[in-house]
A and B are shown apart, each in its own frame.
Chain A
Amino acid sequence: MTPSANRMGSYGESTVLSKEHFKAQELLKKASMAAAVFHQFNQQQVDRIVERTCHAGFQHRVRLAKMAQEETGLGIWQDKAMKNVFATQFVHESIRNEITVGVVAHDEAHGITEIAEPMGPLFIKVPLSSPTATVLFMILVALKSRNPLLISPSSRTLQCCAETARVCYQAALEAGAPEDCIQWLDESSREMDHAIMAHPDLALIVAMGRPELIQAALRSGTPAIASMPGHVPVLIDSSADIPFAVQNIVASKTFDNGTLFASEQAVVVEEKNAAAIVREFEKCNAYFLKPPEIKQLEATLFEPDGGPVLKPACIGQPVETLAKMAGITVPAGTRLLIARQEKIGDEYPLSGAKLAPVLAFYVRPNFEGASNLCIELNSHGDACHVAAIYANNELVIQTFSDLMKVGYVMVNMPASLGAIGGIFNRLKTSLLMSCGASGKAITSDNITARHLLNLKRVYRRRDNERWKNFPKDNFLDEHRTLNTVLEEYNRNY
Chain B
Amino acid sequence: MVTSNYDSTSHTLTFLFSGSMDTIQSAAHAGAVSAALDKAAAKTAAPDNPLRAVFDLKDVNYVSSAFFRICLGTAKQVRQGNFRITNAQPAITQLFKIAGMDEFLAAL
A: which residues have CB within 8 A of B? 28-29, 32-37, 39-40, 120, 178-180, 201
Contact = CB atoms under 8 A, between A and B. Distances in A.
A201 B62 contact: no
A218 B56 CA distance: 43
11 contacts: A28-B100, A29-B100, A33-B99, A34-B65, A36-B63, A37-B63, A37-B68, A40-B62, A40-B95, A120-B98, A178-B64
A39 B62 CA distance: 10
A328 B95 CA distance: 63
A36 B64 CA distance: 8
A170 to B, nearest CB: 15
Nearest to B64: A37
A36 B62 contact: no
Contacts of B6: none
B94 interface: yes
Given A33-B99, A37-B68, 7 more contacts: A29-B100, A32-B99, A37-B95, A39-B94, A39-B95, A40-B63, A40-B95
B102 to A, nearest CB: 11
Contacts of A34: 65
Contacts, number: 40
Contacts of B64: 37, 178-179
B100 A39 contact: no
Interface of B: 23, 62-66, 68, 91, 94-96, 98-101
A335 to B, nearest CB: 50
A32 B94 CA distance: 12
A32 B63 CA distance: 13
Nearest to A180: B65
A39 B63 CA distance: 10
The 6 A-B pairs with the shortest beta carbon distances in the complex, nearest first, are A36-B99, A179-B65, A36-B98, A36-B95, A32-B100, A33-B99
A196 to B, nearest CB: 15
Contacts of A28: 100
A233 B91 CA distance: 52
A29 B75 CA distance: 15
A149 to B, nearest CB: 15
Contacts of B95: 36-37, 39-40
Contacts of A37: 63-65, 68, 95
B61 to A, nearest CB: 9
Contacts of B100: 28-29, 32-33, 201
Nearest to A34: B65
Nearest to A28: B100
B99 A35 contact: yes
Contact of B98 (A29, A39, A179, A180): A39
Contacts of B63: 36-37, 40
Given A39-B95, A39-B98, A120-B98, A33 B62 contact: no
Contacts of A180: 65
A36 B69 CA distance: 13
Contacts of A178: 64-65
A422 B66 CA distance: 40
A35 B98 contact: yes
A33 B91 CA distance: 15
A32 B98 contact: yes
Contacts of B96: 36
Contacts of A32: 98-100
Contact of B65 (A33, A39, A120): A33
A201 to B, nearest CB: 6
Contacts of A179: 23, 64-66
Contacts of A40: 62-63, 91, 95
Nearest to B98: A36
**Which one of A37, A39, A179 has the greatest number of beta carbons of chain B within 10 Å?**
A37
A29 B95 CA distance: 13
Contacts of B99: 32-33, 35-36
Nearest to B65: A179
